[in-house]
Amino acid sequence: MVKITPDIKNIFEKAIIAFTTVSKTYMPNTVAIACAQVISDNQILFTDNFLNKTRQNLLKNNNVSLAFWNIEQSLDGLGYQFKGTAQVFTDGKYKEMVDSMDCNQGLAHKAAVLVTVIEIWDLANPKLICKE
């Protein structure tokens, strides 16, 4: 069972996150996400403020990957990768949640992106931590 621990959550919510999608023709696309929250043991939520190719990729293939690391202790190698599936919401509960995030004030917040995490990997000591 996948569980985002409090320690991983703490690093995740302070990090700039590399979010990767793949197009229909298998071309990867990575963007930086700076405003994201863990909303359950296995779900994260962030905003589509400026997603273009990423949004198009999600419409064709919802498999995603996120990588992040502790920027305060980057030499210690505290980093993780989430693999999962993403859904885009242009209205409803998740959209309202991103609309109210302080870090989104003054930005477009066109949609909410909900990622259900199915694997967590340790990047410092490459190994699978947990899997759905």
Per-residue pLDDT tens digits for 23-64: 989 999 999 998 899 999 999 999 988 898 999 999 999 999
Q: Say what the pLDDT of residue 40 is.
A: 97
- 71 or 34: which leads in pLDDT: 34
What mean pLDDT is predicted for residues 106-125?
92
Map out the domains of the chain with their CATH numbers: 6-126 (2.30.110.10)
Q: What is the DSSP letter of 107?
A: S
Q: What is the pLDDT of residue 30?
A: 97
| pLDDT for the residue numbered 109 | 82
Residue 124 has pLDDT above 90, yes or no: no
Which residue intervals of the chain are DSSP H helices? 6-14, 53-60, 93-99
pLDDT exceeds cutoff 60 at 87: yes
Q: Is 9 helix (H, G, I), strand (E, B) or coil?
A: helix
Report, as an integer, the average pLDDT of 12-29: 92
> How many angstroms separate the Cα of 32 from the Cα of each of 16, 61, 91, 130, 132?
6, 19, 23, 24, 25
pLDDT of residue 35: 85
Q: Percent of the chain at pLDDT above 90? A: 67
| Per-residue model confidence (pLDDT) at position 73 | 61
Of 76, 81, 84, 7, the residue nearest 45 (C-alpha): 84
Query: Is residue 75 over pLDDT 70?
Result: no
Does residue 7 carry a pLDDT above 60? Answer: yes
Query: For position 74, what pLDDT does the model report?
Result: 54
